[in-house]
Amino acid sequence: MKKLANTLRFLFIFLVFVLLITPSSFLSLASTDSSSPLSTTEVNASWMWSEYEILSDTSTLDSKRPSIALDSEDNIHVVWYDNTDLLGSDSDIDIFYRYYDISLETWSPIELVSTESTLSSYSPVIAIDSSDNVHVAWDDSTDYIGAGTDSDVFYKKKNAGGFWTTTEVISTESVYYAASPSMSLDSNDNVYFSWADITNILGADLDQDIFLRYYNCTSATFADTILISTQSTENSFDPEIVIDSLTGDVHVVWEDYLNILGAGSDLDVFYCNWNVYTSILSTFELVSEGSISTSQDPKIQLDQNGDVHIVWVDGNAYYDSDIDHDMFYRLRVTSSGSWNNIELVSTESVESSSQPTLALDRKGSVYVAWHDYTDYLGSDDGGSDWDIFFKFKDSTLNQWSLTDVVSVESSATSEYPSIILDSSDFVHCIWAEIDDLGGSGADTDIFYRRLAGNPIETILSPILPNPSSLDNISLNWKKIQSADEYLVYRSESYIWSISDIEPLAIVTENTYFDTINETGTFYYAICARNEYGYSTLSNVEHVIVEDNVDGLFSSLNLTEILIITGIVLGLQVIGSIITYALVKGSVETKSKSKKRKK
């Protein structure tokens, strides 16, 4: 038994030795992503709206209802409808498309989307899949492939190679008024469509209802149409959908005259979800609780936790918001199925607010834009008019920002805003503008601008090990999403300013390895940079460089040393327990053996 204990003790010591001499890369069991989304408080403090750009610059008639999307490279894709006879589209209303190439920094020529349409096309929506294919849906009155002269939901796709597919009809069972399409893609690039329809199918009766259908990109087939507003016996309008890629839930929000859950006979906002795997539709939930006035125009988004964010317009005087229509927001926590309190968004507005649009950043901060008649921050210079207002809610501080005016130059009606955030959390906004800005003419045109600015300062991590050897200086700092590159500075004295220092290196990643051929104390700092300018300087870190720093731990950082220490201590505890058990067992065995001899 004593021999076994000695053997186990030897194996334990050997294992500790192997762990100690194992290269540090082996011990990197998990890496921590140091990147984080840009704080919206910093956006509010230092970012600015760019100069406006006119997207429908060749249009001579009204351009309206723009919709915006971004691809994986942050190229901007926009669709809208237009009365102008562009590209042989004739005198009917058609759908047009344009994109911004971020590498070339230019807008593409305008393209006609509704090429098969011969009658009016309205309300386009756009989405981009994981392969950067462009998906567009709209409602159209054209009698196309048997669709009839009623309004139907049409759809087509532009492949990443640049070719548009032939138009397809989504609302194939509809015989009367299918309109207000919404579209969303799941993680497998299946395309989901929702719309409002008066057609009596699937037991919907003669009232207007909400329907859902999706395209399976794997089998290249359309699934059967699904009735969403199953509980409604009144008219339902304006559906908006978003897909939870993890659960397969399709989250739906719409406005309805349905009088359940204490909604009353006025128009209210309702929510439910449908699971594509189980085909189970949840029961309706009333979003606009307590409202005794018109609730309408809901918009919906999901955050990284799968929680549901909804904004809408309401005439109810929540929070002393007066009798005008205001913007409201509510959060549904998916894990508990509970709703947070309703929040007033348009706190600075004293006139009517409408046409909301909603976006989220990666932290779950909420960004909202809408059009408003209030004379705020000089928005009514030149006369009373509708303008595009914007604000955000910081998810960390749980606090709304002050309202900002996007269409500040306008002295006429600005309407139909649409916003989206890119990978740097820059805010891109498009809207329809009647004012003759930039020589755009007296017709309504599509305008664009973005909220962006210099990157925020990064944080340089302590340099480890410290002291270091001559050729072993490893720098790491926090990754900034809005930074294009980083300037690395080194000095033999503390870095108070970089005005007289040339950068040691310019890199695109948030790491750098420096080689120093002399001993001494050296100071480092990092500056982030993008197209708008430079961040303020990071914190300064120093390292002592010696020529005799060797040994077991010289190439390990603090995290790796702590990991090794934890492993060693854990193995010591395990070894002690094993040794104790073996010794105790040996004693008990000898004791029993003596008793037998007696």
Q: What is the DSSP letter of 37?
A: P
CB atoms within 10 A of CB 101: 12
All residues at 6 or more sequence positions from 516 whose CB lies less than 8 Å from its CB, including other chains = 470, 471, 473, 522, 545
Q: Of 147, 156, 155, give the one whose Cα is nearest residue 176.
A: 147
> Contact at 8 Å (CB) between 558 and 464?
yes
Which 3 state secondary structure label does DSSP give 486? strand
Q: What is the pLDDT of residue 245?
A: 82
State the Cα–Cα distance between residues 401 and 597, nearest whole angstrom: 87
> Contact at 8 Å (CB) between 482 and 451?
no
CATH code for residues 40-55+292-453: 2.120.10.10
Q: What is the pLDDT of residue 57?
A: 95
Q: Which residues of the chain have pLDDT under 70?
A: 1-46, 379-383, 548-566, 568-573, 575-598
Q: H or E element: which one contains 416? A: strand 414-421
- Distances in Å between the Cα of 144 and the Cα atoms of 152, 167, 221 are 9, 9, 19
Give me the count of residues in the chain. Answer: 598
Q: What is the pLDDT of residue 176?
A: 86
State the Cα–Cα distance between residues 462 and 31, nearest whole angstrom: 17
pTM: 0.79
Q: What is the DSSP letter of 150?
A: S
Q: At what angle do helices 558-597 and 2-21 cross, to 10 degrees?
A: 180
Name the token pair of 579: 């040794």
All residues at 6 or more sequence positions from 188 whose CB lies less than 8 Å from its CB, including other chains = 217, 218
Q: What is the pLDDT of residue 107?
A: 98
Q: Of 213, 237, 101, 77, give the one whose Cα is nearest residue 157.
A: 77
- Which residues lie across from 451 on neighbouring strands? 49, 427
- Which residues lie across from 81 on neighbouring strands? 64, 95
| Sheet strands (E) in 208-291 | 209-216, 221-222, 226-227, 236-243, 249-256, 268-275, 285-286
pLDDT tens-place string over residues 26-38: 222 222 233 333 3
> Contact at 8 Å (CB) between 403 and 390?
yes
32-38+456-554: which CATH architecture?
Answer: Sandwich (2.60)
Query: Cα torsion for 508, 512, 513, 514, to the nearest 10°?
Result: 100
pLDDT tens-place string over residues 83-141: 999 999 988 999 999 999 999 999 999 999 999 999 999 999 999 999 999 999 999 99
Q: For 562, phi and psi rounded to 5 degrees?
A: -65, -40
With vertex at residue 300, the alpha carbon angle to CA 299 and CA 304, rounded to the nearest 5 degrees, is: 150
Which 3 state secondary structure label does DSSP give 489? strand
